[in-house]
Amino acid sequence: MNSRVEFVLDGCGLTDLIGPDALSGYVSIFDASDIKLAAEVLMGRTRLTDYFPSEGRIPLLFCSCGDPGEGAMTVRLSITKDTVTWDQWAWEHDSFPIEWLPHLPAYHFPFDGYEAALDEAGQMALEIMGTASSIIRIASPGQGIMHWLDKRKRGELACQLDLLDIEIIQPAPDLQVTDLRQLINEVQALRTALGASLSNRRYEPTREQSQQVVSSTAKILDSTEAFRLPGQTQESLEWLRDRFQSGA
């Protein structure tokens, strides 16, 4: 997982502020575009694209591919001589209706402080560019015909549990190691709890076990460190949550 710039509003990180709606693969405009261009966009001096988002709105978080049209967290930007305001929060996509987020408040920043924060964010983005904040190994089963045959032989549940076989192999020195290790331990404990399915294709958990799986997966996915998990592991956790929720 590469390091990234995080917006902090009133002491709360933007992804935490958004809550469970935040997409783990999304990054800030400083991480997904040219650093100087990002600052110009956030000052309202230019637009990231000619067509999206609409004029007067800026993208804060979007896909690391760099195209905000694939989906973006946006706000309305208003600037006066002394104040910068972010309000009217929304998830936007160039092909779907806008999803407003009325529970998120308006934020007002002193103009000079806002400009200084953008300079600091740009410098930070330059310093961490390409730096890994953590490296997590995953026992990925691969794709293709052999993976299909493995699913037929062992069952979908067993194959999904393979994607929970993860370990930290390089945490950054300043990383919140305790929180991340706790998260990894919870993922491994979930895999152990369902371990019988690894050798028994007909394994069916009890109602209590199913409820525990739903609770554990929700806790893991809601963790502030969940974005560090490999994408395949996150997808497997979502599959387990939905599968056991429907059967609980």
* Lowest model confidence (mean pLDDT) among 102-106, 112-116, 243-247: 243-247
The model's pTM: 0.53
In the predicted model, is pLDDT for residue 132 greater than 60?
A: no
The owner of tokens 């958004």 is 18
Which residues pair with residue 78 across a beta bridge? 85
Give phi and psi for 161, each to the nearest 5: -65, -25
Rounded mean pLDDT of 142-164?
A: 73
Residue 22: predicted pLDDT? 55
Given a contact cutoff of 8 angstroms between Cβ atoms, the answer to whether 194 and 205 are in contact is yes
Given a contact cutoff of 8 angstroms between Cβ atoms, the answer to whether 7 and 60 are in contact is yes
With cut-offs at 50, 70 and 90, classify the pLDDT of residue 45. very high
